Structure 1
């Protein structure tokens, strides 16, 4: 029998795809062994209650390091703001490092900060655990940080799934191509990380009865719980094609996915909101209504796709074979509770302690007046407590744990907590 056409199927690329996504565990292990890749990319989403990047300012202080460690332990993606690279590396942490000076606004650009979801800021001068030096910050630093963060913080009620405006190697290692080569086709795609976005690019062909190209994440290290959110928001720039966005709630390679199609306009940035209720359960582009609605508390992976098919044999009305490009800036969950986005660890002044007044420090005033949902944790030295303030004291580990807890509590928004430290 003669071949269907002159375009040959690439068996090597087929095996490479299956190995990349752990469909063939033995080959996957060999790839990681020879390439030195970790089993799970360190920046892959986890089961943390908040998925976006948390910036820790004052991270080289003893308390700041405790905060970083607790956030990482809870599965958060962390970016540590440090005064210089040497001190940042001396911390020996898996957190990303941002070298910046809080007194110099030119170092706090939107490009440097990236698309962060929350900030934990220790405004006091605290001796460093590693160098016995102090990382001194002043009220001006708080003002600069608030002003720089306001334009880049996620909107209240949103949390970041993927932020491609702040690319990393581990983020690229999480995504891979799944094209119609797995069905005998010859389409090809890949993902490139630029300075400000991810590019899903390639060539989609209908040869060999094919007609789709996609990029997909490996399974997350643990399922993401998004039950408190209404849906997914995409920030994309397309080429006029109709694409699909898919979520999966099981770790099967070839299982049911929940899909939504969206149209793009050539060279125009768009915000696409996809309610969870609008996602359609599909298996190989055929709807499976008996599977019911998606369980947003079990998100295991996600995928972008360009396909000649819509659903149940219908053709994609906006499909054009050939070269394509979809630029992706971010993937977020929207419609959730408003959570604290600026946690200020503030140390009470001697004047406040002596007067027992409710006057605010300049740091606290600037955070309160910013309009950013916040939590203030006001710290006192236990030996200086006056009046009716509690004599119960907590250690730095407890303070760090409190910072992590308030980030996930809507009830902590715009509130001030007083804690005595020993």
Structure 2
């Protein structure tokens, strides 16, 4: 009988808790921080990459600086189109750098959201064709094949003004499936409930009139990255 009473009480408590749920418990908040660049601990969540992995001479750094109005992330470096003479890779030009988040602990579920937002400040350089920053999202593979270890990559391009803080919003519907930098011509849909990572990158080539392009220094300041529910 005591076991029955315990089960009954547990059921009753669960029912009472369900009845007292508020709308906030049932509806996710309108925004969710994914990354906030406000401490050096944040740097442990990211790693850098560049064409130097393939014989190029570009370089990048990521640090946290206190600008007097709070800490911000600084993604900066130098883009070079040159290739090391002793490179074992068969490439003739280089000129890219990026920062990619380390894989989340499992994955994050953004199914309740429809937009990725970033608060950033550019430097007048054109980031990946037409003065854009390349923002990538990585999801688990569509097919869990033993021979397919790379995550799916989804890319979108966003405008970044010079010298002013700007909040750019990218609907998830604008992300295109890619394979090693090339857009996949296939009818595929992102699964926002299985996000495993994100990245930002910059390329020396491409641009619009008046924008900086070509080899040289670059710098992007980052305050935060959020997921938004706009509908």
1:290 pairs with 186, 189, 193, which one? 186
Please say if 1:268 is aligned against 2:164: yes
Residues 306-327 of structure 1: per-residue CA shift (max 9 Å, x gap): 0146xxxxx4545332100000
1:181, CA displacement in angstroms? Answer: 1.8
Equivalences for residues 18-167 of structure 1 within 5 A: 157-164=30-37, 166-167=38-39
Which has the bigger relative contact order, CA under 8 A and spacing at least 6? 2
> 1:199 and 1:217, CA in 2 relative to 1: closer, same or farther beyond 3 A?
same
Please say if 1:186 is aligned against 2:57: yes
User: Distance in 2 between the 1:234 and 1:205 partners?
Assistant: 27
Q: SS at 1:197's partner residue? A: strand
Indicate conservation of the 8 Å contact 1:187/1:205, yes or no.
yes
1:221 pairs with 98, 105, 113, which one? 105
Number of residue-to-residue matches in the alignment: 176
1:257, CA displacement in angstroms? Answer: 1.2
Please say if 1:302 is aligned against 2:203: no
Which structure 1 residue ranges, 4+ long, deviate > 6 Å from structure 2?
none
User: Distance in 1 between the 2:149 and 2:156 partners?
Assistant: 19
> 1:295 and 1:316, CA in 2 relative to 1: closer, same or farther beyond 3 A?
farther
RMSD (CA atoms): 2.2
1:184, CA displacement in angstroms? Answer: 2.4
User: Distance in 2 between the 1:187 and 1:291 partners?
Assistant: 35
> 1:288 and 1:254, CA in 2 relative to 1: closer, same or farther beyond 3 A?
same
> 1:304 and 1:161, CA in 2 relative to 1: closer, same or farther beyond 3 A?
same
User: Distance in 1 between the 2:32 and 2:62 partners?
Assistant: 23
User: Distance in 2 between the 1:249 and 1:181 partners?
Assistant: 26
Residues 292-351 of structure 1: per-residue CA shift (max 9 Å, x gap): 122111110110100146xxxxx45453321000000000000168xxxxxxxxxxxxxx
User: Distance in 1 between the 2:194 and 2:225 partners?
Assistant: 17
User: Distance in 2 between the 1:250 and 1:199 partners?
Assistant: 28
Match of 1:174 in 2: 45
> 1:212 and 1:253, CA in 2 relative to 1: closer, same or farther beyond 3 A?
farther
Residues 388-414 of structure 1: per-residue CA shift (max 9 Å, x gap): xxxxxxxxxxxxxxxxxxxxxxxxxxx
1:255, CA displacement in angstroms? Answer: 4.5
Match of 2:86 in 1: none
2:79 pairs with 204, 208, 216, which one? 204
* Structure with the bigger percentage of strand: 2
Match of 1:134 in 2: none
- TM-score normalised by structure 1 residue count: 0.39
1:328 pairs with 211, 222, 227, which one? 222
> 1:308 and 1:334, CA in 2 relative to 1: closer, same or farther beyond 3 A?
same
Q: SS at 1:178's partner residue? A: strand
Indicate conservation of the 8 Å contact 2:46/2:99, yes or no.
yes
1:253, CA displacement in angstroms? Answer: 7.2
Unaligned runs of 5+ residues in structure 1 are 1-155, 310-314, 338-422
Residues 78-97 of structure 1: per-residue CA shift (max 9 Å, x gap): xxxxxxxxxxxxxxxxxxxx
Q: SS at 2:110's partner residue? A: coil
Q: SS at 2:100's partner residue? A: strand
Q: SS at 2:220's partner residue? A: strand
User: Distance in 1 between the 2:230 and 2:176 partners?
Assistant: 21
Residues 246-272 of structure 1: per-residue CA shift (max 9 Å, x gap): 110038875541111122222110000
Residues 270-292 of structure 1: per-residue CA shift (max 9 Å, x gap): 00000000011122321013261
User: Distance in 1 between the 2:181 and 2:204 partners?
Assistant: 10
